[in-house]
Structure 1
Amino acid sequence: MTDTTHDIVDTAVAAGSFTTLVAAVTAAGLVDTLKGAGPFTVFAPSDDAFAVLPAGTVEDLVKPENKDKLTAILMLHVVPGKVMASDVSGQVMDPATAGGATIHVDGTDGVTVNGAKVVTPDIACSNGVIHVIDAVLLPKG
């Protein structure tokens, strides 16, 4: 799936399988950021990935008083630059995220990010790339 005419947010909306992620990005006020010039690499949890979080987690995170925590979680899923799956194939790296934390990317057996498996790689967008992952990345500690 390649759509280089739509940005990351519009591509996620059009896909239909990221409604929770889009709602979270909206609640955190990050829509304009992810519509920016980029390029960005976004590890996008599917709605199914959000569904396995403990009951009430998402509802709690999108409350206005939890915006900072939600933003920190979402920023774990964004790496500056455009990184395609082939760029990490056979490699292990710990890139810095847009939020300043590091994530562990392992491309030695498929691609995993902090243990979450990339289930659909390389969805090209006008301002970067989306890789669909099967779990939500959470801050350590």
Structure 2
Amino acid sequence: WLETHREYHWNRLVKAKQALARCCCFFCNKRAGTYLTAFYLFIKVIYAANVIGQFFILNAFLSQEYNFYGLEVLHMLGSSEKEWKESVRFPKVTLCDFKIRQLQNIQTWTVQCVLPINLFNEKIFILLWFWLVFVATLSSLNLI
């Protein structure tokens, strides 16, 4: 039974696969044991591409230079000033337009508004920037 089973799987396609596997050692081949290694490296490349893609998506979402946001924060913290500057990306104070209707008359008022949620948004996006840099560094080092 063993000899007939061996001969049944020994055809031209098997010979071609073995010749190709001998020529190219990085070919994904379950028999040579390189299938899992190639799949592992492929997943690691996808992880690194994901982190880089996240930077591009956040840069498009914020429509600013988000790629260097963490470096700007570190520079600001390292400067001699004691006070946290107001961010261009997350303003804390802005102008708001209100339309007030009084007896068929619509009046537009422009007042100064405080946006306290931007205090939290700024800190969250700083944390996110440092987290993405950390994950990108680990993914790159793990890929090597």
Range class of TM-score, shorter chain: under 0.3
Q: Structure 2 length as normaliser, TM-score?
A: 0.21
Give the number of the structure whose residues are more often strand, by fraction. Answer: 1
Give the number of the structure whose residues are more often helix, by fraction. Answer: 2
Q: Structure 1 length as normaliser, TM-score?
A: 0.21
